[in-house]
Amino acid sequence: MDWMNAINWFAVQTKPHQERLAAAHVWRLDVEIFLPRVKQDESICGALRTVCKALFPGYFFARFYPLLSFDAVRYAPGVLRVVGDSRFPIPVAPEIITGIRDRVQSDGFVRLDQRPFTSGDRVTIGRGPLAGWLGRVECEWDDGRRVMVLLETIQQARLLVEKRLLAVAVAA
Protein backbone atom coordinates (compact mmCIF):
# COMPACT_ATOMS: atom_id res chain seq x y z
CA MET A 1 0.00 0.00 0.00
CA ASP A 2 2.45 2.59 -1.23
CA TRP A 3 -0.34 5.05 -1.89
CA MET A 4 -0.85 5.41 1.88
CA ASN A 5 2.56 7.12 2.03
CA ALA A 6 1.97 9.25 -1.06
CA ILE A 7 -0.09 12.36 -1.58
CA ASN A 8 -3.31 11.55 -3.48
CA TRP A 9 -6.72 12.99 -4.23
CA PHE A 10 -9.66 11.51 -2.33
CA ALA A 11 -13.42 12.04 -2.52
CA VAL A 12 -14.88 13.32 0.73
CA GLN A 13 -18.59 12.86 1.47
CA THR A 14 -20.23 15.64 3.47
CA LYS A 15 -23.36 16.03 5.50
CA PRO A 16 -26.29 17.23 3.34
CA HIS A 17 -25.79 20.74 1.93
CA GLN A 18 -22.53 21.22 3.86
CA GLU A 19 -19.97 20.93 1.06
CA ARG A 20 -18.62 24.46 1.53
CA LEU A 21 -18.49 24.24 5.33
CA ALA A 22 -16.75 20.85 5.33
CA ALA A 23 -14.29 21.93 2.61
CA ALA A 24 -13.42 25.05 4.61
CA HIS A 25 -12.70 22.99 7.74
CA VAL A 26 -10.54 20.53 5.80
CA TRP A 27 -8.69 23.42 4.12
CA ARG A 28 -7.83 24.76 7.60
CA LEU A 29 -5.95 21.48 8.16
CA ASP A 30 -3.48 22.59 5.43
CA VAL A 31 -5.04 20.11 3.02
CA GLU A 32 -5.58 21.06 -0.61
CA ILE A 33 -9.26 20.94 -1.50
CA PHE A 34 -11.21 21.09 -4.74
CA LEU A 35 -14.94 21.82 -4.61
CA PRO A 36 -16.15 22.03 -8.21
CA ARG A 37 -19.28 24.19 -8.51
CA VAL A 38 -21.76 24.93 -11.27
CA LYS A 39 -24.34 27.59 -12.06
CA GLN A 40 -27.74 26.25 -13.07
CA ASP A 41 -31.11 27.74 -13.86
CA GLU A 42 -33.80 26.42 -11.52
CA SER A 43 -37.44 27.19 -11.10
CA ILE A 44 -37.90 28.63 -7.59
CA CYS A 45 -41.47 29.57 -6.64
CA GLY A 46 -42.34 29.68 -10.32
CA ALA A 47 -39.52 32.06 -11.24
CA LEU A 48 -36.40 31.00 -13.10
CA ARG A 49 -33.29 31.81 -11.04
CA THR A 50 -29.60 31.04 -11.41
CA VAL A 51 -28.29 29.05 -8.45
CA CYS A 52 -24.75 28.02 -7.55
CA LYS A 53 -24.29 24.47 -6.28
CA ALA A 54 -21.72 21.72 -5.96
CA LEU A 55 -21.08 19.77 -9.17
CA PHE A 56 -21.30 16.61 -7.06
CA PRO A 57 -23.81 17.38 -4.29
CA GLY A 58 -22.57 16.06 -0.97
CA TYR A 59 -18.94 15.65 -2.10
CA PHE A 60 -15.67 17.50 -2.63
CA PHE A 61 -12.09 16.40 -3.25
CA ALA A 62 -9.13 16.63 -0.87
CA ARG A 63 -5.46 15.96 -1.60
CA PHE A 64 -3.45 14.61 1.32
CA TYR A 65 -1.13 11.92 2.70
CA PRO A 66 -3.45 9.29 4.21
CA LEU A 67 -0.99 8.27 6.94
CA LEU A 68 -0.74 11.87 8.13
CA SER A 69 -4.19 13.37 7.54
CA PHE A 70 -6.80 10.64 7.08
CA ASP A 71 -8.23 10.84 10.61
CA ALA A 72 -8.13 14.64 10.72
CA VAL A 73 -10.01 14.89 7.43
CA ARG A 74 -12.65 12.28 8.22
CA TYR A 75 -13.43 13.84 11.61
CA ALA A 76 -13.54 17.44 10.37
CA PRO A 77 -16.85 19.25 10.98
CA GLY A 78 -19.34 18.65 8.17
CA VAL A 79 -17.56 15.52 6.87
CA LEU A 80 -19.40 12.19 6.89
CA ARG A 81 -16.54 10.08 5.54
CA VAL A 82 -13.65 9.83 3.14
CA VAL A 83 -14.81 7.50 0.37
CA GLY A 84 -13.40 4.02 0.98
CA ASP A 85 -13.81 1.77 3.99
CA SER A 86 -13.26 2.63 7.64
CA ARG A 87 -9.53 1.89 7.43
CA PHE A 88 -8.48 2.83 3.90
CA PRO A 89 -9.62 5.63 1.63
CA ILE A 90 -9.78 5.01 -2.12
CA PRO A 91 -7.62 7.41 -4.17
CA VAL A 92 -9.17 9.31 -7.08
CA ALA A 93 -7.17 9.16 -10.32
CA PRO A 94 -5.41 12.50 -10.93
CA GLU A 95 -6.74 12.52 -14.52
CA ILE A 96 -10.28 12.84 -13.15
CA ILE A 97 -9.37 15.93 -11.14
CA THR A 98 -7.45 17.38 -14.12
CA GLY A 99 -10.41 16.71 -16.41
CA ILE A 100 -12.77 18.58 -14.10
CA ARG A 101 -10.30 21.42 -13.51
CA ASP A 102 -9.88 21.86 -17.27
CA ARG A 103 -13.59 22.69 -17.47
CA VAL A 104 -13.45 25.40 -14.79
CA GLN A 105 -14.11 28.81 -16.36
CA SER A 106 -12.58 32.15 -15.39
CA ASP A 107 -15.53 32.80 -13.04
CA GLY A 108 -14.57 29.69 -11.02
CA PHE A 109 -17.52 27.55 -12.10
CA VAL A 110 -17.41 24.31 -14.08
CA ARG A 111 -18.71 24.61 -17.63
CA LEU A 112 -21.29 21.94 -18.43
CA ASP A 113 -21.58 21.45 -22.16
CA GLN A 114 -25.11 21.00 -23.35
CA ARG A 115 -25.49 18.24 -25.83
CA PRO A 116 -26.02 19.79 -29.26
CA PHE A 117 -29.26 18.82 -30.93
CA THR A 118 -29.16 17.76 -34.56
CA SER A 119 -31.86 18.05 -37.15
CA GLY A 120 -34.28 15.14 -36.81
CA ASP A 121 -33.64 14.42 -33.11
CA ARG A 122 -36.86 13.42 -31.41
CA VAL A 123 -37.36 15.51 -28.25
CA THR A 124 -39.81 15.99 -25.39
CA ILE A 125 -40.57 19.33 -23.80
CA GLY A 126 -39.71 18.94 -20.11
CA ARG A 127 -41.33 21.96 -18.43
CA GLY A 128 -43.87 24.68 -19.04
CA PRO A 129 -47.39 24.62 -20.50
CA LEU A 130 -46.34 22.18 -23.26
CA ALA A 131 -44.53 19.75 -20.92
CA GLY A 132 -44.61 16.20 -22.25
CA TRP A 133 -45.27 17.13 -25.89
CA LEU A 134 -43.17 15.40 -28.52
CA GLY A 135 -41.49 16.94 -31.52
CA ARG A 136 -38.53 16.78 -33.89
CA VAL A 137 -35.64 19.24 -33.95
CA GLU A 138 -35.51 21.28 -37.14
CA CYS A 139 -32.48 23.40 -36.25
CA GLU A 140 -30.64 25.13 -33.42
CA TRP A 141 -31.05 28.87 -33.28
CA ASP A 142 -27.97 31.06 -33.72
CA ASP A 143 -27.93 32.14 -30.06
CA GLY A 144 -27.18 28.53 -28.99
CA ARG A 145 -29.94 28.64 -26.39
CA ARG A 146 -33.01 27.90 -28.47
CA VAL A 147 -34.12 25.16 -30.83
CA MET A 148 -36.81 25.16 -33.53
CA VAL A 149 -39.03 22.15 -32.85
CA LEU A 150 -41.64 20.73 -35.18
CA LEU A 151 -44.43 19.59 -32.84
CA GLU A 152 -46.03 16.28 -33.72
CA THR A 153 -49.05 16.88 -31.52
CA ILE A 154 -50.64 19.93 -33.15
CA GLN A 155 -50.76 19.46 -36.92
CA GLN A 156 -47.04 19.93 -37.45
CA ALA A 157 -46.80 23.34 -35.68
CA ARG A 158 -43.34 24.89 -35.32
CA LEU A 159 -42.23 26.25 -31.97
CA LEU A 160 -39.05 27.97 -30.75
CA VAL A 161 -38.08 26.33 -27.42
CA GLU A 162 -35.31 27.00 -24.90
CA LYS A 163 -32.72 24.17 -25.16
CA ARG A 164 -32.68 23.64 -21.41
CA LEU A 165 -36.35 22.63 -21.53
CA LEU A 166 -35.77 19.79 -24.02
CA ALA A 167 -34.78 16.20 -23.50
CA VAL A 168 -34.06 13.56 -26.11
CA ALA A 169 -37.15 11.36 -26.40
CA VAL A 170 -36.77 7.66 -25.69
CA ALA A 171 -37.49 5.55 -28.76
CA ALA A 172 -40.75 3.64 -28.37
Give the whole-angstrom CA distance, residue 121 versus residue 100.
Answer: 29
pLDDT digits (tens, 9 = 90+) for 58-79: 999 999 999 899 999 999 999 9
Give the whole-angstrom CA distance, residue 156 versus residue 85.
Answer: 56
| pTM higher than 0.75 | no
The secondary structure of 95-152 as a DSSP string is HHHHHHHTTB-TTS-B--PPPPP-TT-EEEE-SSTTTT-EEEEEEE-TTSSEEEEEES
Task: Say if residues 143 and 131 touch (Cβ distance below 8 Å).
Answer: no
Radius of gyration of the chain (CA): 21
Per CATH, domain 122-168 is 2.30.30.30: yes
Superfamily covering domain 2-101:
NusG, N-terminal domain (3.30.70.940)
Position 3 confidence tier, pLDDT thresholds 50, 70, 90 = low
Domain boundaries, the chain: 2-101, 122-168
Local structure of residue 169 (DSSP, 8 states):
P
pLDDT digits (tens, 9 = 90+) for 75-121: 999 999 999 876 789 999 999 999 999 988 888 888 776 667 778 88
